[in-house]
Amino acid sequence: MTQAPVFTVTQVNQYVKGLLDRDRVLASLFVRGEISNYKAHSSGHHYFSLKDSGGTIQCVMFRRDAAGLRFRPENGMKVIASGHVSLFPMGGQYQLYCTSLTPEGVGDLHVAFEQMKEKLYREGLFDPAHKRPIPRFPGRIALITSPVGAAVRDMLRILGARWPLAEVVVLPVRVQGTEAAGEISAALAWANCNQVAELIITGRGGGSMEDLWAFNEEQVARAIYASAIPVISAVGHEPDVTIADFVADKRAATPSNAAELAVPDQKEIMARLAQTEARLTQAIGRRLERARKELEQATRCRTLQNPMAYVDDCRMRLDYQRQQLARGLSTAAGRERERFARLSAGLDALSPLKVLGRGYAIARNTDGEIISSVGDVTAGDTLSLRVTDGEISCQVR
Element (H, E) at 328: helix 307-349
Could you tell me if residue 345 is inside a domain? Answer: no
Q: Are residues 232 and 185 in the same domain?
A: yes
Question: Which pLDDT score, from 0 to 100, does residue 155 have?
Answer: 96
Q: Are residues 125 and 237 in the same domain?
A: yes
Q: Are residues 192 and 312 in the same domain?
A: no
Q: Are residues 148 and 223 in the same domain?
A: yes
Could you tell me if residue 143 is inside a domain? Answer: yes
CA pseudo-torsion sign 100, 102, 107, 110: negative
Instruction: Give the domain range for residue 67.
Output: 9-105
- Chunked into runs of 10 residues, the chain (397 residues) has average pLDDT values of 76 83 85 90 91 90 86 84 88 88 72 84 93 95 94 94 95 93 96 96 88 92 96 89 94 94 94 94 94 85 72 85 90 90 80 67 82 82 82 86
Question: Which pLDDT score, from 0 to 100, does residue 363 have?
Answer: 83
What's the rounded Cα separation, in Å, for the pair 347 and 341? Answer: 10
Question: Which pLDDT score, from 0 to 100, does residue 353 have?
Answer: 64
Question: Which pLDDT score, from 0 to 100, does residue 103 have?
Answer: 80
Q: How many CB atoms are located within 10 Å of the residue 383 CB?
A: 17
Could you tell me if residue 290 is inside a domain? Answer: yes
Q: Are residues 187 and 236 in the same domain?
A: yes
CATH of the domain at 125: 3.40.50.261
Q: Are residues 119 and 98 in the same domain?
A: no
Could you tell me if residue 209 is inside a domain? Answer: yes
What's the rounded Cα separation, in Å, for the pair 27 and 22? Answer: 7
Domain count within the chain? 4
Q: Are residues 130 and 229 in the same domain?
A: yes
Three-class DSSP category at 232:
strand
Could you tell me if residue 256 is inside a domain? Answer: yes
Question: Which pLDDT score, from 0 to 100, does residue 204 have?
Answer: 94
What's the rounded Cα separation, in Å, for the pair 254 and 160? Answer: 17
Could you tell me if residue 275 is inside a domain? Answer: no
Three-class DSSP category at 293:
helix
Could you tell me if residue 138 is inside a domain? Answer: yes
Q: Are residues 96 and 167 in the same domain?
A: no
CATH of the domain at 26: 2.40.50.140
Q: Are residues 95 and 210 in the same domain?
A: no
Q: How many CB atoms are located within 10 Å of the residue 390 CB?
A: 7
Q: Are residues 119 and 243 in the same domain?
A: yes
Could you tell me if residue 272 is inside a domain? Answer: no
Question: Which pLDDT score, from 0 to 100, does residue 1 have?
Answer: 56
